[in-house]
Amino acid sequence: MPQVSLKVNGKTHSVEVEGRTLLVELLREKLGLTGTHVGCDTSQCGACVVLVNGDSVKSCTMLALQANGAEVTTIEGLAKPDGTLHPMQAMFREHHALQCGFCTPGMVMSAVDMVNKHPHPMSETEIRAELEGNLCRCTGYNNIVKAIAAAWPLMHGQAAKAA
C-alpha dihedral (85, 125, 48, 17), degrees to nearest 10? -110
Parts of the chain belonging to CATH 1.10.150.120: 87-155
> Residue 4 pairs with which residues in a beta bridge?
15
- The CATH architecture one would assign to domain 87-155 is Orthogonal Bundle (1.10)
Looking at residue 12, what is its pLDDT? 98
Looking at residue 40, what is its pLDDT? 85
Q: Which residues of the chain have pLDDT under 50?
A: 161-163
Burial per residue of 15-26, b for 16 or more beta-carbon CB atoms within 10 angstroms, e otherwise = bebeeebbbbbb
> Residue 7 pairs with which residues in a beta bridge?
12, 71
CATH classification (class only), 3-77: alpha beta
Element (H, E) at 58: strand 55-58
Parts of the chain belonging to CATH 3.10.20.30: 3-77
Looking at residue 159, what is its pLDDT? 65
Looking at residue 162, what is its pLDDT? 45
pTM (two decimals)? 0.93
Residues present in the chain in total: 163
Nearest-angstrom CA–CA distance, 51 and 43: 15
Looking at residue 20, what is its pLDDT? 96
Nearest-angstrom CA–CA distance, 142 and 97: 8
